[in-house]
Amino acid sequence: MTGSIKYLLAENEIPTAWYNLAADLPFRPNPPLHPRTLEPLGPDDLATLFPPSLIEQEMTSRRFVDIPGEVLDVYRLWRPTPLVRARRLERALPTRARIYYKYEGVSPAGSHKPNTAVAQAHYNHRDGTRRLTTETGAGQWGSALALACSFFGLECTVYMVRISYEQKPYRKAFMRVHGADVTPSPSSRTACGRAILEDQPDSPGSLGIAISEAVEDAAGDPRACYSLGSVLNHVLLHQTVIGLETRRQLEMAGERPDAVVGCFGGGSNFAGLAFPLLSLDGTGPQVIAAEPAACPTLTRGVYAYDYGDAAGIAPVAHMFTLGHSFVPPRIHAGGLRYHGAAPLASALLHHGLISARAVGQLDAFAAASLFARTEGILPAPESAHAIQVVVELAREAEREKTEPCIVFGLSGHGHFDMGAYEAYLDGLLEDYQHPREEIERALAQLPQVAGGR
């Protein structure tokens, strides 16, 4: 039995700058709009929510942005992360494809999220913020921000999607140990939370609703800023440390990837891996976003201007969306339950530079279980969607008798998601496909922006 092979970088090979894909795009993504005026957003409009240095990063057209020493100091706790050739998985399938995974679950929060959480906490601390507010779905993002805030001495307020708050009490405890204040969303703390509870007292919540609450909270407190775990340009920027390391590790392995796969919720994990590996001239790998069939933003949504949150108080972005009023069903991959998608990734999809596939959760858990039994690592349910796409690609390669090199992002481990695994093992999970009308109904509520759709 030949084992899987790990490609490790030395600590001094952690990238010292993040890569900004926007600088290389052959087209200009449409700007975000003000939620009330629907006019293009200026830096001043963002100043109630974000500190100056992150607003600058959000807008920058520099190709590389230096990673501050204070951030590298924290990255070194778990970075560089391993790239692993999944030889046991290859044999189990079996396939002649060479499958590699970049493993971000070695971070103290168990996912890729601290890559940006630490950067955001640092810049906020430097710019004088005292408290950060945020939302969390599965709890990965909230855990990461709680951790990052404890490193930089910031207070942290987390609005946690109620369904996850109930299904994942241990995530809540994790955030509390790191000093965060965690509240289930929708909550009665904010006007938009109260409005939703009045309408639907047992609302399971959604990322969109939790974002509304966190934004409202931050906007009303001059000491506080808001922090988002995905979607925005600066968040994707920070995550590119993943793909930059991967590029070097693939060189060590003597590989040029034919396919790159990342699971997709808001897009930060996907972009972090894929952007540095992307060829904008069409000579590079096929790049595939793996999203849940139960929240099919990229495969069944539209490319249009929409609010980033449920209440319509967050900026309006040009992106793939299912409509900001879309509430995804209670699937377990909480981190993938977002109605929208990162504008940068959306633009790539719109221009045909990447593609997307939807994966049912039963297939995802089956692929994750196979991965756990062969590679030893129990994947986060989010990452499981990428694994299932890899399994599909490997089967396609067998049919076509090709031997591709496939790289995917194992964005986190599933140690906080064992309830979902247990439900899967006990046969209690099912797949969910939205009826066409349900999606059409949500899409009918998009804001009317000239030329936006």
Q: Which residues bind a second copy (CB under 8 A)?
A: 1-6, 8, 10-11, 70, 72-74, 76-77, 84, 88, 106, 108, 110, 147, 150-152, 169-174, 176-179, 369, 372-378, 415-416, 418-419, 421-422, 425
Nearest-approach distance from CB 215 to a second copy, in angstroms? 27
Q: Is the dihedral of CA 336, 340, 342, 347 positive or negative?
A: positive
Nearest-approach distance from CB 171 to a second copy, in angstroms? 8
DSSP annotation of 129 reads: -
Query: Of the two residues 123 and 303, which places its CB atom closer to a second copy in the complex?
Result: 123
Nearest-approach distance from CB 18 to a second copy, in angstroms? 18
Nearest-approach distance from CB 76 to a second copy, in angstroms? 6
Cα-trace Rg, the chain: 20
Peptide bond into 201 cis (omega under 30): no
Query: Of the two residues 45 and 245, which places its CB atom closer to a second copy in the complex?
Result: 245
Query: Of the two residues 68 and 452, which places its CB atom closer to a second copy in the complex?
Result: 68
Query: Of the two residues 167 and 297, which places its CB atom closer to a second copy in the complex?
Result: 167
Query: Of the two residues 108 and 447, which places its CB atom closer to a second copy in the complex?
Result: 108
For residues 215 and 226, the answer to whether their CB atoms sit within 8 Å is: yes
DSSP annotation of 151 reads: H
Exposure string over 275-297, b if 16+ CB within 10 A, otherwise e: bbbbeeeeebbebbbbbbbbbbb
Query: Of the two residues 122 and 337, which places its CB atom closer to a second copy in the complex?
Result: 122
Query: Of the two residues 47 and 425, which places its CB atom closer to a second copy in the complex?
Result: 425
Nearest-approach distance from CB 140 to a second copy, in angstroms? 12
Q: Which residues contact 417 (CB under 8 A, 6 or more apart)?
A: 138, 168, 332, 380, 381
Q: In the structure encoding, which two tokens stand for residue 11, read together?
A: 């600590």
Nearest-approach distance from CB 106 to a second copy, in angstroms? 6
Nearest-approach distance from CB 163 to a second copy, in angstroms? 18
* φ/ψ (deg, to 5) at 141: -70, -45
Nearest-approach distance from CB 263 to a second copy, in angstroms? 19
Query: Of the two residues 178 and 318, which places its CB atom closer to a second copy in the complex?
Result: 178
Distances (CA, A) of 214 to 133, 154, 225: 5, 16, 9
- The SS3 of residue 309 is coil
Q: Which amino acid is at 439?
A: I
For residues 36 and 109, the answer to whether their CB atoms sit within 8 Å is: no
Beta strand 155-161 with 131-136 is parallel
CA distance 329 to 57: 34
CA distance 224 to 337: 26
Query: Of the two residues 174 and 326, which places its CB atom closer to a second copy in the complex?
Result: 174
Work out the number of other CB atoms within 10 angstroms of the CB of residue 274: 32
Query: Of the two residues 78 and 432, which places its CB atom closer to a second copy in the complex?
Result: 78
The length of the chain is 453
Of the candidates 185, 184, 176, 128, the one whose C-alpha atom is nearest the C-alpha of residue 156 is: 176
CA distance 199 to 122: 39
Query: Of the two residues 304 and 391, which places its CB atom closer to a second copy in the complex?
Result: 391
Nearest-approach distance from CB 120 to a second copy, in angstroms? 15
Nearest-approach distance from CB 148 to a second copy, in angstroms? 9
Query: Of the two residues 5 and 47, which places its CB atom closer to a second copy in the complex?
Result: 5
Nearest-approach distance from CB 174 to a second copy, in angstroms? 6
CA distance 180 to 157: 6
Nearest-approach distance from CB 420 to a second copy, in angstroms? 9
Helices (H), 220-335: 233-252, 268-274, 297-300
Work out the number of other CB atoms within 10 angstroms of the CB of residue 447: 16
Helix or strand run (H / E) with residue 260:
strand 259-263
The span from the first CA to the last CA of the chain, in angstroms, equals 54
